[in-house]
Amino acid sequence: MSWPQDHAKLDRVRSLMDERGLDALVVRAPDNVLYLTNFWGMKGYDACVFPRDGEPALICLEASEEDASRMAWTDDVRLFSGYDASDPRPPTARVLELAREAASDFRRVGLELSLGTQAADRMVGEPTTFTADWFTRFGDVEDATPLLAAARAVKTEQEVERLRLANDIAAAAMEHCKLIVEPGMSEAQVAAEWEGFVHREGTGWEGKVDLALGFSLVWSGAGIKTFTATTSRPVVEGEPTLFEIWVCADGYWCDHTKNLVVGQLTQQYRDLEAGLMHVYEDAIDFARPGASLAELDRRIRAGIAAMGFPGQPSHPICHGVGARAHEPPYAHQAGGGEIAAGMVLAIEPGCYIEGGGGLRVEDNFLITDAGAEKLSPFPDGIVRA
C-alpha cells in the first residue's frame, strides 16, 4: 500500500540521530526497513541506509522492484539479484556490498548491533538472520537499536491509522468466529476460521491494506495455559475458548487476547472474569502519560495475587505494539521508564489454573492526554457466542 511520506516520524528519527551525532543508520531488520522507507520486503534480504541529511537508499531485491516503486518513500532504490550465475554467494553478501557503498561517505554510522530478533518478512514469516560480516564491515559503528526503539515507541497519526486497520480486521474476524463456533469443533478448526477470515477479508480492507495475515493460538477449557500449541481439543460448552491473536496489515500489527463462550458460563469462570476484569480496568485507568511502567507491572501482579494467583502471569503484562507485535516499551517492576502520550500499548493480565484452564484479557491502547483509548471494537472479557 502506498502511504504519504510520514514526515513526523522521519523527522523524529533524524532529531535523535542529531542528538547522538550519527550521520547515517544502516538497517536490515524488515520492521526497521518498513519504518524508515515504507517498504516491506518479501524475503527479508533488503536494507536501508538512512542519512541524517539527504535521501535514504533502499537496497532492494531485484524481483521486488515493482513493489518498491509503489511503496517506498525514496527514489534511491539500488537493486540486487537473488541469484547471480557468476556469484555463488547468498544474496545477503550482495546486499552488504551495496549497503557499504551507500554508507561509505558517512563518518558515524549506526547499526542494529543489539537487535536479537526481528520481525518477519512478507513472504513466509521466516526471519533472515544477520551474518558476522554485517556487524564488522562498516568500521567503528554505534548501536542504533536504542535510538530506533525510542523513535518507534511514540506513534505518529499515520501509524495510529495503520494500527487501527489491524485492530479492526482482528475484531471483524472475532465477530465471524462468534457466529460459527460450536461445542465439539476443534481448537484448530476455530483457529483456521479466524485466520482464514483475516487473510480473505483483511487483504484489501477498506482499500488500504495490500496484505493481511493472521496468527493465532486458540485454546478451550482446560487447554487454556500460559503457552501451549493449538490442538485438536474440542471447544468446551460453558467454558471460555481463548483466542491469542495477532494481525499484521502491511507490516503494522495488533496483539489481542479475546474470549468466547458457547452456552452458559460456569460460576467458576464468572468469578474469575469479574476479578480479572477489575485488575484490567484498574490498569487501563492507570495507563496515562507520566505513569511509571514499573508501577504498572507491580500493580497488575499485586491484583492477580490478591485473586489467589501469586507469581502470575509468567508472561509480560504490557508491551508496545507497532511495526512489530511485541516491541519496546515493556513494563517490568525491575525496570524503568514512563508511559508517554502517543504510545500504543498491549495490556494483558492473565491468571492460570493449575492443571489447565484460566483466563487472559488483552487489547491495544493508544495513550492520549485524556488516558488510554481502546483500539479494538471487540469487547473484552468473555463474550457469549
CATH of the domain at 76: 3.40.350.10
Q: How far apart are CA 134 and CA 118, in angstroms?
A: 15
Q: Where are the beta strands (DSSP E) in 45-92?
A: 47-51, 57-61, 76-80
Do residue 99 and residue 236 come from a single domain?
no
Is 203 a member of any domain? yes
Q: How far apart are CA 380 and CA 170, in angstroms?
A: 13
pLDDT at 120 > cutoff 90: no
Of 132, 153, 174, the last residue of a domain is 153
Of 153, 182, 200, the last residue of a domain is 153
Is 116 a member of any domain? yes
Do residue 54 and residue 29 come from a single domain?
yes
Do residue 246 and residue 328 come from a single domain?
yes
Is 81 a member of any domain? yes
Do residue 266 and residue 287 come from a single domain?
yes
pLDDT at 124 > cutoff 70: no
Do residue 166 and residue 95 come from a single domain?
no
SS3 11: helix
What tens digit of pLDDT does each residue of 44-61 get?
899 999 999 999 999 999
CA pseudo-torsion sign 366, 372, 376, 382 = positive
Is 37 a member of any domain? yes
Percent of the chain residues topping a pLDDT of 70: 98
SS (H, E, C) 328-357: EEECCCCCCCECCCCCEEEECCEEECCCCC
Domain that holds residue 92: 7-153
pLDDT at 128 > cutoff 90: no
What tens digit of pLDDT does each residue of 298-357 get?
999 999 999 999 999 999 999 999 999 999 999 999 999 999 999 999 999 999 999 999
Is 11 a member of any domain? yes
Is 1 a member of any domain? no
Is 2 a member of any domain? no
Do residue 60 and residue 197 come from a single domain?
no
Do residue 107 and residue 161 come from a single domain?
no
> At 118, is the pLDDT very low, low, confident or very high (cuts 50, 70, 90)?
low
The mean pLDDT value for 23-47 works out to 95
Do residue 101 and residue 172 come from a single domain?
no
Do residue 46 and residue 143 come from a single domain?
yes
Is 166 a member of any domain? yes
Taking the alpha carbons at both ends of the chain, their separation in whole angstroms is 34
User: What CATH number is attached to the domain comprising 205?
Assistant: 3.90.230.10
Residue for grid cell 524503568: 336
48 neighbors 78 (Cβ within 8 angstroms): no
Of 121, 153, 185, the last residue of a domain is 153
Do residue 207 and residue 140 come from a single domain?
no
Q: Which residues, at least 6 apart from 7, have a Cβ–Cβ distance to it below 8 Å?
A: none
Do residue 116 and residue 204 come from a single domain?
no
Helices and strands, number each (H, E), in the chain: 10, 17
- Say what the pLDDT of residue 129 is: 77
For the chain, the average pLDDT equals 95
Q: How far apart are CA 55 and CA 89, in angstroms?
A: 29
Do residue 138 and residue 162 come from a single domain?
no
Q: Provide the edge-to-edge strand list for the sheet that holds 252-261.
A: 212-220, 241-249, 252-261, 382-384
pLDDT top residue among 79 and 227: 79
The domain tally of the chain equals 2
pTM exceeds 0.85: yes
